[in-house]
Structure 1
C-alpha cells in the first residue's frame, strides 16, 4: 500500500494539473466576459455598442470550434492548449495596455476581443482531449475524470464571475483585464511544467512493467482504451495526419454526423441549448422583474442553479461510473429543463422556486459529464479535438435564435404562455432518448470508458 502510494500520486499529478489549468483559464474567460462589456459601456455609453461587442465575443466560439479542431489534432493537445492560452492572454493584455498608452479605437477593441475568443474554444477542446489519456495514466475511471472536469468548469464560471465583480469595483474594467491576462499565463505555465510531452507518459509505468497508459486497454478492442493508445498522455502530437486541412475538417464533421449516438446527443443538446439560453437571457430576467418584482431575484435564481450544478458534478464524479445510462440521462434532462419552466409558469412561491433551482441544477450537473463520457468512449484520438470543436460549434449555433424567439414569444403571447411552451417543448425533447435507438449506446459507452481507468 505504502510503496504504491507515491507512484500513483505521480501518475495522477498531470490530470490534477490539467484540471487546475482548466480552472484558471476558464475563470479568466469569465472575467473577460464581464469586464469587456462593462468597459465598452463605460467608454461609449451605448447599449448597442455593448451588444456589438457581445456578438464579437460569441461568434468566435462557433468559428473557432468549427475550424480550430483540425489544427489542434495536427499540432497536439498539449502544445495547442499552451498556445491558445498565450495568445488569449496577449490579446486580453493588449486591451488595457493600448487603452492606457496610444489609445484603443472601438474597431481595434472588437478585433482583439474576436481574436481572443477565436482561440478559447480550440484551447478548451485541447484540454478536454487530454483528459482520457491522463485519466488512464492516473488509473482514474473516465466517468470520474469527466465529472471532475465538469465540476471544474462550473466552479471556474462561479469563481470567475465573483472575482470579476470584485475586481471591477476595486480596480476598474481595465485593471481587471490586466489581472485576467495573468490567469492565461498561469494556465499555460501549469500545462508546460506538469503535463508530460508526447511519449513521456510511457515512462510512468506500473509495477510489473506495464505502461500506465494501459496496454491491456489498448488491446481490449473497445472504448477509449482501444482508441487512445499510441500518443502518450499529451495526445495528438504523436499521430500522423497525412490529410489536408480541408480533408481533416470534413472528416471531423463526417464522423460527428455518421456516429449515431454522438449525432443524436449533439442534436438534442443543440435544441435544448436554444431553450436554455432563452431562459437565461429573456424568460428568467422578465420573470424576476415582472412577477417577482425584484431584478436582484435573478441573481439568486442563477446562484441556486449554479450551486446545485456544481454539487451534481461532484457527486457524479464519485458515483457516475456506477449509474450513468439512458434512464439517468433522460431523468436529469427532465429535472434540469422541464421543472424550472413549469414552476415559473405555475408562479410558485419564491423560496420554493429557489429550491427547484437547486434541484434542477443538481440534475444538470450530471449531464455534461455523461456527454463527455460518451464522447471519450467513441471518438478516435486522432480526431478528438476536431470533433470536440465541431460539437461546441454545433451546440452553440442555436443560442442567438433561442433568445430572439423567446423575446418575440413573450411580446406576442405573454410570459406565462411562453413558459408553458418552453416546458412542454423541453419535455418532448427530453423524451426522445427513450424512443430513438441511437441513444441505446449510452450505457455501452459508460462501460467501455469505465475500464480505461481501472
Structure 2
C-alpha cells in the first residue's frame, strides 16, 4: 500500500516545480510586458505577502475542509489562475492591477495546498508502512530536488518558449498535481480523532494555543524564524558582495548558493537512510549548528574560495537533516485535529521575517562593512542554534509519541 505515498511525492514534486516556474515566469513576464523594474518588484511583493497571510490563517480551513480536498482544490485554482494570466494577455488584454490581483490570489490559494499535502505525509506513510524518518526525508528531498530542477528548467523554457507560453506550461503542472492526488491518493482519517469545529476563530486559537504549550515546537519555530531571516540576508546580499568584492568573480555567487542546495539534497538522502537510528536531539542540534555557522564564518575569515565552497557544501549537507527531523517532530507531537493549522502557523512564522533579512544585511554592511556584518550574522546564528543543547524541553526528544493509526475512508 505504498503507491498512495509515492503518488503524493510525485504530485508534490510536480506542484513544487510549478511554484518555482511561477517564481521566475511571473517576474520575467512582468518585466517583458511593462519594462519596469519597480512594477516587477511590486509583482514579486504580491507573490510573497499572500504566502504569509494564507499560511497563518489557511491552516484552520485545511483542518475543517480536509487535507485531500484542499490539496486538489488548491492545485486546480492555482492552475486556472496561472493559465488565466497569458490567456487574458493574448485575448482581451491584461492591465497591471489585474495581473497583481491574479498573482496575489494565486499564491493565496496555493499555500493551503502545500500545507494539506504535508499534513497527509504521516497518514500515508503509516498506510504504506514507511518509517516516519524516511517519509519526511523523502518529502523534503522531493521539494529540494524540484527547486533545483525547476529554476534552471524555467530559464531554459523562458529562452525557448518565452514567458507567456511558459505560464501555460506552469498552469498545467498544477492541474496534473490535482489529478494525481484526486485519483491516486485515498482520503485517510484517524480513528477516534473527529475534526469537530468550534468555529473558525476558536479553531485558529486552538492551533496557536497548542504551539504555545509545546515548548519544543515553539523554540524550534523561533530558531527557524531567526535563521531564515539570516539566510535570506546571506543569500540575497552577502554572497553577492563576497563574490564581487572578495573573489571578483560573479560565478562564485552561483556556486556558493548552489553548493548549499546540492549538499542539502545529499544530506536529506543520507538522513532518510539512517535517520531512524540517530539520536534526535543531538542530531538536530549539531546539524542546525553546522548548517549555518561554518559557511558564514569561513566567508568572514576571508578563506580561499575553494575552501569556502567546500565548507558551504558541508553546511548544506548538515542542513539536509533539519527539515525531515522537524517533520518527524511535527507529525509525532501535533494531534491530527489541529495538524494543518499548527503547520500553517509555523510556515507563516518561518516566512514572516525573511523580507527583513535582506534589509538587515544591506544596511549593516553599509554601516560596518562586509566582514563585520558576516561576523555579526555568524554570532546570531550561533546563539540561535543553542536551544537543543540547553533547553529542558528538548531532552525528551528521543522519546517518540504517536497518535492513532490512520484508516482509509470508505
1:119 paired residue number: 109
TM-score (norm 2): 0.96
1:58 aligns with one of 18, 41, 48: 48
1:410 paired residue number: 365
1:179 paired residue number: 169
1:420 paired residue number: 375
Q: CA deviation at 1:433?
A: 2.0
- Report whether the alignment pairs 1:448 with 2:380: no
Write the distance in 1 (CA, Å) between the matches of 2:256 and 2:25. 22
Write the distance in 1 (CA, Å) between the matches of 2:217 and 2:269. 24
1:275 paired residue number: 230
Cα deviation, 1:410-449, whole Å, max 9, x if unaligned, reads 10000111001111111111123211212223222xx335
- Report whether the alignment pairs 1:329 with 2:319: no
1:306 aligns with one of 261, 267, 270: 261
Cα deviation, 1:247-270, whole Å, max 9, x if unaligned, reads 111111111112111111111111
Q: 1:427 to 1:248 in 2, by over 3 A?
A: same
Q: 1:249 to 1:369 in 2, by over 3 A?
A: same
1:396 paired residue number: 351
- 8 Å Cα contact 2:332-2:403 kept in structure 1: no
1:89 aligns with one of 79, 84, 97: 79
Write the distance in 1 (CA, Å) between the matches of 2:337 and 2:97. 38
Q: CA deviation at 1:182?
A: 0.8
- 8 Å Cα contact 1:63-1:393 kept in structure 2: yes
Worse overlay, 178-187 or 434-443: 434-443
1:204 paired residue number: none
- 8 Å Cα contact 2:60-2:200 kept in structure 1: yes
Write the distance in 2 (CA, Å) between the matches of 1:381 and 1:84. 20
Worse overlay, 47-56 or 18-27: 47-56
1:169 aligns with one of 138, 141, 159: 159
Write the distance in 1 (CA, Å) between the matches of 2:192 and 2:34. 53
- 8 Å Cα contact 2:74-2:110 kept in structure 1: yes
- 8 Å Cα contact 1:35-1:177 kept in structure 2: yes
1:202 paired residue number: none
2:129 paired residue number: 139
- 8 Å Cα contact 1:143-1:370 kept in structure 2: yes
For 1:32-71, list aligned pairs within 5 A.
32-71=22-61
Cα deviation, 1:345-383, whole Å, max 9, x if unaligned, reads 112121222211211111001000000100001101011
Write the distance in 2 (CA, Å) between the matches of 1:423 and 1:173. 39
TM-score (norm 1): 0.87
Q: 1:172 to 1:435 in 2, by over 3 A?
A: same
Unaligned runs of 5+ in 2: none
Write the distance in 2 (CA, Å) between the matches of 1:24 and 1:195. 15
CA RMSD of aligned residues (A): 1.6
Q: 1:119 to 1:324 in 2, by over 3 A?
A: farther
For 1:217-232, list aligned pairs within 5 A.
228-230=190-192
Write the distance in 1 (CA, Å) between the matches of 2:82 and 2:42. 18
Write the distance in 2 (CA, Å) between the matches of 1:384 and 1:450. 11
- 8 Å Cα contact 2:64-2:197 kept in structure 1: no
Unaligned runs of 5+ in 1: 1-10, 200-227, 232-238
Cα deviation, 1:306-359, whole Å, max 9, x if unaligned, reads 111001111111111111411111111111100111011112121222211211
Write the distance in 2 (CA, Å) between the matches of 1:452 and 1:332. 30
Secondary structure of the 2:93 match is coil
Query: How many residues are matched?
Result: 406
